[in-house]
Amino acid sequence: MKTLQSIKARTGEPLGAPLCASTPEQVDACASAAGAAFGDWSSSDGGTRAALLRGLASALESDREGLVALADEETGLGPARLNGELDRTAFQLRRFADIAERGVAFEFVDDPALAGAPPIGHPAMVRQRVPLGPVAMFSASNFPFAFSVLGGDTASALAAGCPVVVKAHSGHLLLSNRVIGLVQQVLKTQGLPAGLISMIQGGGNDVGVRLVRHPAMAAGAFTGSTRGGAALQAEASARPRPIPFYGELGSTNPVVALPALLASKGAELAATLAGSISQGCGQFCTSPGLIVLIDSPESDAFVAQLTTALTAQNPHAMLTPGMRKAFDAGVEHMVSAGARPLLQEAGTPEAPRPFLAQVDAASFIAQAELRDEVFGPSSLIVRAGSVAEVLQVLQAVGGSLTVTLWGAQDESEDTRALVRGAMAIAGRVLFAGVPTGVAVTAAQQHGGPWPSSTQPMTTSVGDAAMDRFLRPVALQDAPAWLLARKGQPC
């Protein structure tokens, strides 16, 4: 039997006893149990779903001290950050509880019959939504609470009426096992089947692939690398019955800073940006990995200010030894592709130093390797000669979760063009602040064109995340008893 070992992020030492990887039989059992739980849960009312989600939020909060301490050992993210993330996770669960209780999943369009011949006349139609089915949810490395066992994917799937099988991330195995223990207690207390929310674990890709391939699974949700997400998406598409795969993948999150604003606020913006690049050791999907400047004295001064500000940053240890090695490899790959280092210092085996490099726009556009995400406290400055060249840089990026436009507050031909260019490649466009920090709210869009996500029409954060797990169905000339259910599946 394969075993897994949790690691202390700050030292690389083993943490706790080895854990057993899920066997193929255990993966199949969890998927089948989710399938068995689907019928009743898909037809449950909003109150039942809300009660579960609120119970899960309370369970997290009741074990806060133990959960945060364990998460800190496994991730090195620090109690302040982890307490805030636990708060966010509980908030997400309760927000989706409110959404379920309001009956958002059961909203329908009533289109009464209209007399006459087609195309004007038509029968009575009701358009409602039904849950897709069990969801294979892949935990993220960088958010051990908010994108893990009880993260936004799980909360939104449950609110939609879908059971969940979680694939735990190897970077926080002990925490995941503790959380799933709380989950099972809540399910038992509320008289719900254990298969409604279950968890598997494994160090390689065989466990996750088997889960995606299982015929009971109806959708996948993933947050992680482009390579890993693309492989799982291919598995989801290659099934005899393909299923949707909602992957949030790699993103460079360009920040475009115009000279006029840099002239008045350059030092302030440099300090803000340096903090964003280093925040969480750069292990955010919205970390600003690309800075696009137009050649000017103001941009020259800003590069110097940013270099100084980054030098003062002290990132903590990365989540896993593998990520630490990948960061170094990504930096070297960027340099070998032609980027000129401006700040490159040796770090510790666990914690890297910030990295900053620069390249001209023509080289960036020509060299695909320069557009790869480097997961960690790293950013690449791209120097453009004009707004037109900035737009070519954005087009070369192809897809990003965010684009930030600093200095576009006044309307002009240039700012209109920049907004169009940013909206063409990003799910969220910012005009102030930095992209790190994703609000859980009604208007949020956390997803963009490839390679930032596999489904740019959907979001993994915010109220609309639930829509991923609901499928529209039209009922024509439906009987009165069915209409009386007001959109609740039977």
pLDDT digits (tens, 9 = 90+) for 339-392: 999 999 999 999 999 999 999 999 999 999 999 999 999 999 999 999 999 999
Q: Please report, as a single letter, which amino acid is at residue 259.
A: P
Q: What percent of the chain stands above pLDDT 70?
A: 100
Distance CA 223, CA 153 (A): 9
Q: Distance between CA atoms of 197 and 171, rounded to whole angstroms? A: 20
Task: Find the angle CA(131)-CA(132)-CA(137) to the nearest 5 degrees.
Answer: 110
Q: Report the distance separating Cα 236 and Cα 234, nearest Å.
A: 5
Structural contact between residues 411 and 386, judged by C-beta atoms closer than 8 angstroms: no
Q: How many other C-beta atoms can be found within 10 angstroms of the C-beta atom of residue 434?
A: 22
Instruction: Please give the Cα distance from 379 to 331 (Å, whole number).
Output: 10
pLDDT at 371 (0 to 100): 95
Q: What pLDDT does residue 364 have?
A: 97
CA distances from 183 to 47, 154, 157, 162, 199 (A): 18, 12, 15, 16, 10
Please give the radius of gyration of the chain, using alpha carbons only, rounded to the nearest integer.
Answer: 24
**Whole-angstrom distance, CA of residue 404 vs CA of residue 407:** 10
Would you call the peptide bond into 259 cis, given omega within 30 degrees of 0 as the criterion? Answer: no
pLDDT at 204 over 90: no
Out of 285, 298, 373, 389, the active site residue is 285
**CA geometry: angle at 72 spanning 288 and 445, to 5°?**
35
Q: Identify the structural domains of the chain with CATH numbers, from first to last.
A: 3-244+455-483 (3.40.605.10), 254-430 (3.40.309.10)
Report cis status (omega within 30 of 0) of the bond before 451.
Answer: yes
Query: What count of other Cβ atoms lies within 10 Å of the Cβ of residue 348?
Result: 10
Helix (H, G, I), strand (E, B) or coil at 164: strand
Give the C-alpha separation, 443 to 14, whole Å. 42
Distance CA 234, CA 45 (A): 34
Q: Are 61 and 90 in contact (CB under 8 A)?
A: yes
pLDDT(330) > 90: yes
CA-CA distance, 374 to 285, in Å (whole number)?
11
User: Half-sphere exposure of residue 475, counting CA atoms within 13 Å on the CB side?
Assistant: 22
Q: pLDDT tens for residues 215-242?
A: 999 999 999 999 999 999 999 999 999 9
Q: Where are the alpha helices (DSSP H) in 190-225?
A: 206-213
Asked if pLDDT for residue 202 goes beyond 90, the answer is yes
pLDDT averaged over every residue in the chain: 97
Active site residue 285: yes
Helix (H) or strand (E) holding 145: none
Q: pTM of the entire structure?
A: 0.96
Q: Which of 248, 298, 350, 389 is catalytic?
A: 248
For the beta carbon of residue 439, count every other beta carbon within 10 angstroms: 12
Residue type, 442: A
The DSSP bridge partners found for residue 222 are 138, 247
343's enclosing H/E stretch is strand 340-344
Which phi and psi angles does 187 have, rounded to 5°? -60, -45
What's the average model confidence in pLDDT over 107-114? 97
Task: Give residues with Cβ within 8 angstroms of 39, minimum separation 6.
Answer: none
pLDDT band of 71, cuts 50, 70, 90: very high
Cα 370 to chain centroid, rounded: 23
**Known catalytic membership, residue 248:** yes
With H, G, I as helix, E, B as strand and everything else as coil, classify residue 334. helix
